[in-house]
Amino acid sequence: MEVQITSENFETLKNGQLPLVVDFWATWCGPCRMVGPVISELAKDYDGRIVVGKCDVEENEELAVEFGIRNIPTILFFKGGQIVDKVVGAQSKAKLEEKFNSLL
């Protein structure tokens, strides 16, 4: 299940026991709407093993700025509180699944 990522909960999730995947998106972004259902599906598939969150760049601009998000969707992969991978733009489920598996 996906969680909403905000400035208030980000640090706690990033530094939690489980790896974290953050989908930076916006409601008006076409490619974001394409990749959104894939992220939701992967969130269910990896529930209990990886925390998957969505971060609306318009509501959490400071997080987007902190990570230099210039294009969306951008998906960041965290392990041990550090960024270990990043993908920009709409990706296939197979490509994203590969990235998820590398976090485990």
55 is catalytic: no
The per-residue pLDDT for range 9-58, each reduced to its tens digit, is: 999 999 999 999 999 999 999 999 999 999 999 999 999 999 999 999 99
Extract the tokens encoding 1: 């299940």
The reply to whether 29 belongs to the active site is: yes
Percentage of the chain beyond pLDDT 90 is 99
Q: Is the pLDDT of residue 1 over 90?
A: no
Identify the active-site residue in 22, 29, 42, 63: 29
pLDDT at 83 over 90: yes
pLDDT mean over 65-75 = 97
Q: Give 28: exposed, middle or buried? Use CB within 10 Å, 0-12, 13-18, 19+.
A: exposed
Q: Mapping DSSP to helix (H, G, I), strand (E, B) and coil, where does residue 25 land?
A: strand
User: Which of 5, 21, 22, 32 is flagged as catalytic?
Assistant: 32
Task: Tell me what pLDDT residue 33 has.
Answer: 95
